[in-house]
Structure 1
Amino acid sequence: MFAPERVAVVGATGREGSVGRSILTNLASFDGDVVAVNPKHDSVLGRTCYDRLTDVPGRVDLAVVVVPPERVADVVADAGEAGVPNVVVVTAGFSEAGAEGAERERELADLAEQYGLTLVGPNCLGVMSTRSGLNATFGPTMARPGSVGFMSQSGAFVTAVLDWAADEGFGFSDVVSLGNKAATDETDFVERLAAVEGTNVVLAYLESVVDGRAFIETTREVTEHTPVVAVKSGRTGAGARAASSHTGALAGSEAAYEAGFAQAGVVRAESVQELFDFARALDGLPVPEHEGVAVVTNAGGPGVMATDAVGDSRLSMVTLGEDTQERLSDSLPANANVHNPVDVIGDTDVARFEGALDAVLADGGVGAAVVVAAPTTVLDYEALAESIVDCQREHGKPVVACLMGGERVDAPEETLEAAGIPNYFDPARAVDSLDALAEYAAVRERDYEAPREFDVDRERARAVLERAADYDSGQLGVEAMELLDAYGIPTPAGGVADSPDDAASIAADLGDDVVMKIVSPDITHKSDIGGVEVGVPQDEVAATYETLLDRARSHDPDATVLGVHVQERVDTEAGVETILGATRDPQFGPLLMFGLGGVFVEVFEDTTFRVAPVSEQEAGEMVDELDAAPLLRGARGRASVDEAALRECLERLGALVADFPAIAELDVNPLLARPADAGGPLALDLRVSVDAENL
């Protein structure tokens, strides 16, 4: 794909302003052979022109297709017959253009599978490689050579980036415009781009992910050796579908991407500026051994700005060692600050600046440093840049620079960036880039654990879910608690009663008083209509059964009422109410949610997400990420909950929703997290939305 010996342009033409001419012209600098294919011409721009790919003598490694959309399938079939392994379909007019175009796109995918083709597009800009001089695009700019692989779902974004990068001196190894992703997608190319020798970072602009689970598994392996940085558009709630559960309402597509990228080890950028800021740091610098940072500056204000940015990141401002502070005191003026941030004051020269930077980098507690400088008449920026390079090389720790200024920074910046040290005008950008470097260091150091397998009763769970097919709403409530039992998630004792006498019989085995809940697939929020009674004495159970049914009928005479769930009463004060849920994302599949539960779940929104199934380690991370985690661990004199059992509940629910695609949304709210001596976690309520077509 990126290093062909022979390229064919199908739809080549000499017509001014045409895409076919642009691609052929861009290939003029390609080191290999280029042939033209177009039955309307004998030659194009001095090249012999063939009628079809099957007429081209010899091997063709890459075919670039730019013909009308209705002819593309025939060309791709010809490529398959001619043994062309790689095809780039530049032509638009496919799934982005309506039902007819979508059908044409499916045909391309089928042909690619039939012939084993690597097919990029359709509706893409093309592909490019500075390693081979290949510019098989119709963009106006050839990439500068570099060590960053770049893929983009938007061709327009590629042209804009390459134009900007040419001015910025930013280079690439390979570039691919993904287009509509009919046959190859981001998962294929994250692996291919990273596999190229000399590619240090992979960048991605994404609007969607075709197969979230495959992306996570592949990218997780890639990020063990090569950082992947992605910016994702469409982050707002406008893209999320309507949801009937708490989990669905809180999830949305953004939560799935946030979780999926984290599990894959992707460093997430929130803007184009961050995408390339992070790339500069990851491309040229070593990863820090720890997250302690020192700031060295000649400017108090910008130094404070850098310190604030560290406080907003995963990084921490190091307390410098006594030896370091003594060394700084010996070399700096009396009015300088020898604590972190180190202020060498405004009259500093390069020697003083270099001595301070050397001292902090020698400190064992410093993992990385930020140099912040404002221009003065006594500070030679170019000499300072050379000193920063020398210090970074001597100590082998990452250093980012913030040499502030305009034209006077141009030459020093070239010196820094030639050594792999990025320079930023804004101190916050410098710190954010170090933060990305530290994030990738954590990604590279983590050990992946596969999800555990549990002894579960899948057939029992399937039977419960199949009941939902009998109801128009596809909803199940507490009557489906058996679903949780089948996967080993603890539930209170009880059952569904279909008469007053049956209710009394069930209650007789459950203690002095019980909890009673109306069972109806058509009534979602049962508490709102008085459909739940807590603390019902034994002698009032039968009468309460009738009362609950009357309330349900008054609320909705047409609602299906299956009876009343009678459940042992549990002391909720003995634990912390959490919520455990799941929803199904179109790209990533089952998305597990855990958070602070009860009636205020959507008020506090203290939740965290992972793509299921999850490992024990990932379940532990979900607990750690909650703001309310101290509540679970005994804050304010409370006993600590059984955290191991709580993590296991997360793992088991993750396995359940991964096993059954029919579970569209699920809430266990509350899941009462209790200490081990109080019985451990207990699922008190359940709501499930079932997609019967996926059973």
Structure 2
Amino acid sequence: MGIESGLFDPQRVAVVGATERDGAVGRAVMENLVDDFDGEVVPVNPNTDSVFGRRSRDRVGETDADLAVVVVPAPEAVDVVAAAGDAGIKNVVVISAGFSETGSEGTAREEALVEAADRHGINVVGPNCLGILSTPTGLNATFSPRNARPGNISFMSQSGALVTAVLDWAADRGIGFNDVVSLGNKAVLDETDFVDTWGEDDDTDVVLGYLEDIQNGASFVDAAATATESTPVAVLKSGRTDAGAQAASSHTGAVTGSEVAYEAAFEKAGVLPVASTEELFDVGAMLAGQPLPDTDATAVVTNAGGPGVMAADAVGEATLALASLSGTTRDRLREVLPDAASARNPVDVIGDADAERFADALDVVLEDEGVGSAVVIACPTAVLEFEELADVLASVRRRREEPIAVCLMAGSESDAAREHLAAADIPTYFDPSRAVRGLDGLARYRAVRQHDRGEPTDFDVDRERARNILASVEDRPDNRLGIEAMGLLDAYGIPTLDSEIVESPAAASDAAAAIDGDVVMKIVSPDILHKTDIGGVEVGVAAAEAADIYETLVARARTRQPDARILGVQVQAMADTDAGVETIVGATRDPQFGPLVVFGLGGIFVEVLEDTTATLAPLSEQEAEAMLDDIDAAPLLRGARGRDPVDEAAVVETIQRLSQLVSDFPAILELDINPLVATPDGVAAVDIQLTVDPATL
């Protein structure tokens, strides 16, 4: 993947549809390019001789351009892309609307555009987009009313309107950009291409994105996982609720997919999810200019007690922790602070503090080995000059390796100070919680950099046996399999209990006699998903009772669910639930990201308690281990209330083996092992339900 040169650094740009007509998009794009672009701008318009003093060409093929920007009506835009390809132009931005966002006719038009791009190997941004810009070359191929300040953030957005808003907002706050892309309909180039490109770009220190969907989930995860090894990626994903998903679909035709899958995908890829545009740039500004902290412990230096408490609350809600200052640090603070000041964290330098007192206190707390970062909060007073404060804080920052966030709780009085701090790459905020949130982004990315994702284990399994069991669904009127498919787990080395499916009372008696101790008997029917709800399970059955229980179970099933197909009764050894914990291990296939493995507290209460976690397959051992830590019921696995801890290694291996199973067979759409009983001596799968797509076997 990645994008060939010429998209962001062209020598010559053709504007197809250029005009001087007031209010036209073609005029706005021309004006933006003429004002700042280092290269040559060539207008294309057969109806005029020149645009803004530049000779106009009749066709894009006459321009010898590296990049063509298309602003003609949609039906003509497809022909322009084809003509650009014929002329050897490899980069095209289609600003024109009227494609898949408009319905079936537009979708057909977009398919024709993609075909032309594929035929000629063209990078196409859009259609239905604002355009692109890149500050190193002064390229502003958009119709935004405002250009970007130079900087080291690259930003992509599925909303063109958001780009215009962000450019205006960021310029007033000293936030600069390297590249900005309005993705539009993502007909050819999408978020994966830009993450891949910017991850290798020396001029991009941070990648930020607003996304409504991700088109190729697996490719995005791979690209982002590589990029985040060196470049932080933060994404605001909209469409998280049903209403938001419907709005996203109507906006761009996006298929938003499962929100749980997106969370799992971002976790696997090392992408930092954020909840708002404000948070996106709070975090982005910090990542763009500050070093990573050595620890999560942060110190707060403030001249106002209330904002200090607000910052402490925000720290408690974040990845960060409030640093516990050493005795030496507190002694040194008492030396530089008046008696009324607080030498504990938050450090209150009190209201009569000048800039030097702030700097002295900040220097002292950053010398503490237990402090990884600091938040400085300043409220206006008669003795504090904000510009002087900005100068001394910039001086401290130049001497230190720890990141600093500054909260200036003032209006226009702080404008000049904010400019000074921005020049020193120190982000400023009004609200203390936002300053903490920015620092938290650094801590979260440090965890990404330190995280060892590991490699999935390739277990020795019987794929042919598994395939044959899955293929049995072809003889069914639906695509579901139940406990009759327990052999699937055996084929992949997942422990199961001794069991047999029988079709008569006599066979039930024989099967029960062959198993040591009492047994569990369950009705076998692909139409009865919750067997306990219809009385289809009997626990603690002696061999002498097995024949009668067989008849009872069948009779209950036929009475309570007359249309259900009865395949027999399973006779199964009893699991040691007294010594174990009932868990669930399962998987579902997300349309964007593929198989999603789920683990959590299981049994009959799984849907009530909802204590589960999810990770994209395939899973490494480290990722499977993390799933055990992620559930609220983790203490139960580790021996809460005097119980013996379960065999966690066996649980981890089972998760990995299931991950391999669903990765090997895309035909498995859903699969639940519930319960998987975990005991100190190992695990045992008690029940299984799965849905299979026979067409993909």
Same fold (TM over 0.5): yes
Query: When the two structures are superposed, what TM-score results if normalisation uses the length of structure 1?
Result: 0.95
Give yes or no for contact 1:474–1:521 (8 Å, CA) kept in 2: no
Give yes or no for contact 2:213–2:257 (8 Å, CA) kept in 1: no
Q: Give 1:19's aligned residue.
A: 25
Which among 64, 67, 72 is matched to residue 67 of structure 1? Answer: 72
Q: Give 1:273's aligned residue.
A: 278
Q: How does 1:386-397 map to 2 (within 5 A)?
A: 386-397=391-402
Q: Give 1:690's aligned residue.
A: 692
Q: How does 1:480-499 map to 2 (within 5 A)?
A: 480-499=485-504
Distance 1:237 1:687, change over 3 A: farther
Counterpart residue type for residue 548 of structure 1: L
Which among 567, 580, 588 is matched to residue 585 of structure 2? Answer: 580
Matched, 1:654 2:662: no
Distance 1:403 1:14, change over 3 A: closer
Deviation at 1:530, TM superposition (A): 0.7
Identify which range, 81-90 or 66-75, moves more after superposition: 66-75
Distance 1:39 1:550, change over 3 A: farther
Matched, 1:300 2:305: yes
Deviation at 1:239, TM superposition (A): 6.9
Q: How does 1:196-345 map to 2 (within 5 A)?
A: 196-237=201-242, 253-345=258-350
Query: When the two structures are superposed, what TM-score results if normalisation uses the length of structure 2?
Result: 0.94
**For residues 135 and 467 of structure 1, what CA distance do their matches in structure 2 show?**
59
**For residues 559 and 130 of structure 2, what CA distance do their matches in structure 1 show?**
62
Matched, 1:469 2:471: no
**For residues 225 and 149 of structure 1, what CA distance do their matches in structure 2 show?**
14
Identify which range, 496-505 or 258-267, moves more after superposition: 496-505
**For residues 549 and 126 of structure 1, what CA distance do their matches in structure 2 show?**
66
Give yes or no for contact 1:292–1:365 (8 Å, CA) kept in 2: yes
**For residues 240 and 133 of structure 1, what CA distance do their matches in structure 2 show?**
36
Counterpart residue type for residue 52 of structure 1: R
Identify which range, 231-240 or 369-378, moves more after superposition: 231-240
Aligned pairs, number: 681
Distance 1:634 1:381, change over 3 A: same
Deviation at 1:42, TM superposition (A): 4.4
Q: Give 1:422's aligned residue.
A: 427
Q: Classify the secondary structure of the residue corresponding to 1:261.
A: helix
Distance 1:79 1:645, change over 3 A: same
Q: How does 1:487-526 map to 2 (within 5 A)?
A: 487-526=492-531
Which deviations, in whole Å up to 9, do the C-alpha atoms of 1:596-636 show, x marking residues without a partner? 11222222222211111111111111111122212111222
Which among 174, 178, 188 is matched to residue 169 of structure 1? Answer: 174
Matched, 1:5 2:11: yes
Identify which range, 569-578 or 498-507, moves more after superposition: 498-507
Give yes or no for contact 2:199–2:231 (8 Å, CA) kept in 1: yes
Give yes or no for contact 2:272–2:445 (8 Å, CA) kept in 1: yes
Q: Classify the secondary structure of the residue corresponding to 1:376.
A: coil
Q: Give 1:76's aligned residue.
A: 81
Deviation at 1:25, TM superposition (A): 2.5
Q: Give 2:251's aligned residue.
A: none
Deviation at 1:390, TM superposition (A): 1.9
Counterpart residue type for residue 167 of structure 2: L
Structure 1 unaligned segments of length 5 or more: list them: 242-250
Q: Give 1:136's aligned residue.
A: 141
Q: Classify the secondary structure of the residue corresponding to 2:613.
A: strand
Give yes or no for contact 2:238–2:244 (8 Å, CA) kept in 1: no
**For residues 280 and 244 of structure 2, what CA distance do their matches in structure 1 show?**
22
Counterpart residue type for residue 508 of structure 1: A
Deviation at 1:185, TM superposition (A): 0.8
**For residues 118 and 509 of structure 1, what CA distance do their matches in structure 2 show?**
67
Aligned-CA RMSD value: 1.9
**For residues 456 and 60 of structure 2, what CA distance do their matches in structure 1 show?**
48
Give yes or no for contact 1:149–1:194 (8 Å, CA) kept in 2: no
Counterpart residue type for residue 13 of structure 2: V
Deviation at 1:281, TM superposition (A): 0.6
Q: Classify the secondary structure of the residue corresponding to 1:198.
A: coil
Q: Give 1:527's aligned residue.
A: 532
Deviation at 1:237, TM superposition (A): 4.6
Deviation at 1:74, TM superposition (A): 2.2
Which deviations, in whole Å up to 9, do the C-alpha atoms of 1:151-186 show, x marking residues without a partner? 111111111111222222321111111111111110
Give yes or no for contact 1:588–1:611 (8 Å, CA) kept in 2: yes
Matched, 1:630 2:635: yes
Which deviations, in whole Å up to 9, do the C-alpha atoms of 1:502-558 show, x marking residues without a partner? 222222222221111111111221111111111111111122112111111112222
Which deviations, in whole Å up to 9, do the C-alpha atoms of 1:355-380 show, x marking residues without a partner? 21111100111111111222222222
Q: How does 1:545-694 map to 2 (within 5 A)?
A: 545-675=550-680, 678=681, 680-694=682-696
Q: Give 2:458's aligned residue.
A: 453
**For residues 549 and 40 of structure 1, what CA distance do their matches in structure 2 show?**
82
Which deviations, in whole Å up to 9, do the C-alpha atoms of 1:175-217 show, x marking residues without a partner? 1111111111101001223333322111100001111111111
**For residues 258 and 347 of structure 2, what CA distance do their matches in structure 1 show?**
43
**For residues 595 and 91 of structure 1, what CA distance do their matches in structure 2 show?**
48
Q: Give 2:40's aligned residue.
A: 33
Give yes or no for contact 1:239–1:253 (8 Å, CA) kept in 2: no
Distance 1:44 1:402, change over 3 A: closer
Deviation at 1:316, TM superposition (A): 1.2
Deviation at 1:431, TM superposition (A): 0.8
Q: Classify the secondary structure of the residue corresponding to 2:604.
A: helix
Give yes or no for contact 2:238–2:245 (8 Å, CA) kept in 1: no
Q: Give 1:244's aligned residue.
A: none
Give yes or no for contact 2:266–2:273 (8 Å, CA) kept in 1: yes
Q: Classify the secondary structure of the residue corresponding to 2:136.
A: coil
Give yes or no for contact 2:233–2:271 (8 Å, CA) kept in 1: yes
**For residues 39 and 557 of structure 1, what CA distance do their matches in structure 2 show?**
75
Using the aligned pairs only, state the percent identity: 59
Which deviations, in whole Å up to 9, do the C-alpha atoms of 1:68-111 show, x marking residues without a partner? 32233322222221111111111222221222322222232233
Which deviations, in whole Å up to 9, do the C-alpha atoms of 1:237-273 show, x marking residues without a partner? 55789xxxxxxxxx97111111111111111110000
Give yes or no for contact 2:285–2:427 (8 Å, CA) kept in 1: yes
Q: Give 1:47's aligned residue.
A: 54
Matched, 1:110 2:115: yes
Identify which range, 156-165 or 69-78, moves more after superposition: 69-78
Give yes or no for contact 2:480–2:690 (8 Å, CA) kept in 1: yes
Deviation at 1:147, TM superposition (A): 1.2
Structure 2 unaligned segments of length 5 or more: list them: 1-6, 247-255
Give yes or no for contact 1:203–1:275 (8 Å, CA) kept in 2: yes
Give yes or no for contact 1:190–1:219 (8 Å, CA) kept in 2: yes
Counterpart residue type for residue 685 of structure 2: A
Deviation at 1:41, TM superposition (A): 4.1
Give yes or no for contact 2:599–2:613 (8 Å, CA) kept in 1: yes
Give yes or no for contact 2:576–2:679 (8 Å, CA) kept in 1: no
Q: Give 2:375's aligned residue.
A: 370
Q: Give 1:247's aligned residue.
A: none
**For residues 97 and 469 of structure 1, what CA distance do their matches in structure 2 show?**
39
**For residues 205 and 530 of structure 1, what CA distance do their matches in structure 2 show?**
50
**For residues 550 and 104 of structure 2, what CA distance do their matches in structure 1 show?**
53
Q: Classify the secondary structure of the residue corresponding to 1:488.
A: coil
**For residues 334 and 27 of structure 1, what CA distance do their matches in structure 2 show?**
60
